[in-house]
Amino acid sequence: MKSIAIIPARYASTRFPGKPLAQLGGKPVVQRVYEKVAPLVDMAVVATDDERIYDVVEQFKGKVVMTSPDHKSGTDRVQEAYTKVSQALGVTYDVVINVQGDEPFIAAQQIQAVKDCFMDARTDIATLVKPFHPEDGLEALLNPNSPKVVLGANSQAMYFSRSVIPYLRGVEQSEWLQKHTFYKHIGLYAYRPEALAKITAMEQTSLEKAESLEQLRWLENGMHITVRVVDIETVGIDTPQDLERAEQFLMNLKKEKGSL
């Protein structure tokens, strides 16, 4: 099963402009992501709309493709990048993995988990979830910026929501984490190429607009999203404060495993 990882990397960011080029342990964040992912797939490519990012990726000998600045989502950028790479090389891949450009600590187990989902022929799209644990606290569960997922039979996603789902009737909210296993969505996606082309051609749906979650558009259109449960959560970087936490996380890893 041939896999390609596309790493969308935009310079413009409301909360952290220039984030892909921010230094983390002496390397740009986008380089950290690329070097983590490249050994785990058959091909890794950074997809950007900014020449500064393009030039930096070339400098560290990574593969990079320039994409349109007009994309509404990272998924659209991944589709354009995949099409360009596939046509340029004359190669098709079985699985396209969308790796966020601000996830320098993504784990090999996570990449393998989404790839394994495609052993099931029904899988159009794959993603990951992590159980909420009681020690995470109710505040983490209630956080609308942390989407929750309900799973059905055969580990298929039934629904994604910024609200807590399911609602536990007759149970005090303070006891929810003790009484039920809730799942937090981890934003790593993989697609069959034909599914990726299909979802990027779809119009926005009412549920997607309501929750601001594009995966609801895919579910509304009958796509099968297979989910794997992992207990690994990496350190994403959305703000300069997150970068400071990532620096500390990296320092701790160096102490545990030696120089990175």
Q: Would residue 254 count as lying in a domain?
A: no
Q: Would residue 247 count as lying in a domain?
A: no
Measured distance CA(147)–CA(166) in Å, rounded: 12
Instruction: Decide: 250 and 260 in contact? Cβ < 8 Å.
Output: yes
Does position 259 have pLDDT exceeding 70, yes or no?
A: no
Average pLDDT over the chain, rounded to an integer? 93
Q: Would residue 51 count as lying in a domain?
A: yes
Q: Sorting pLDDT into bands at 50, 70 and 90, what band is 109?
A: very high
Instruction: Decide: 177 and 133 in contact? Cβ < 8 Å.
Output: yes
> Domain range holding 180?
3-240
Instruction: Decide: 151 and 207 in contact? Cβ < 8 Å.
Output: no
Helix (H, G, I), strand (E, B) or coil at 67: coil
Q: Would residue 259 count as lying in a domain?
A: no
Does position 43 have pLDDT exceeding 80, yes or no?
A: yes
Does position 108 have pLDDT exceeding 90, yes or no?
A: yes
According to the model, what pLDDT value does residue 183 have?
97
Does position 260 have pLDDT exceeding 60, yes or no?
A: no
Instruction: Decide: 113 and 93 in contact? Cβ < 8 Å.
Output: no
Q: Sorting pLDDT into bands at 50, 70 and 90, what band is 258?
A: low
Q: Would residue 248 count as lying in a domain?
A: no
Strands 225-229 and 125-131: parallel
209: tokens are 């607009």
Does position 115 have pLDDT exceeding 70, yes or no?
A: yes
Q: Would residue 163 count as lying in a domain?
A: yes
231: tokens are 């207990």
Q: Would residue 260 count as lying in a domain?
A: no
Measured distance CA(199)–CA(96) in Å, rounded: 13
Instruction: Assign residue 113 the CATH number of its domain.
Output: 3.90.550.10
According to the model, what pLDDT value does residue 256 have?
78
Q: Would residue 218 count as lying in a domain?
A: yes
According to the model, what pLDDT value does residue 102 have?
87
Calculate helix-pair angle for 51-59, 29-37, nearest 10 degrees.
50
pLDDT in tens, 175-216: 999 999 999 999 899 999 999 999 999 999 999 999 999 999
Does position 13 have pLDDT exceeding 80, yes or no?
A: no
Q: Which of 115, 173, 95 is nearest to 141 (CA)?
A: 173
Does position 146 have pLDDT exceeding 80, yes or no?
A: yes
Count: domains in the chain = 1
Measured distance CA(51)–CA(58) in Å, rounded: 10
According to the model, what pLDDT value does residue 237 have?
84
What is the DSSP-derived secondary structure letter of residue 212? T
What percentage of the chain exceeds 90 in pLDDT?
Answer: 80
Measured distance CA(156)–CA(6) in Å, rounded: 24
According to the model, what pLDDT value does residue 119 have?
94
Q: Average pLDDT, stretch 104-132?
A: 95
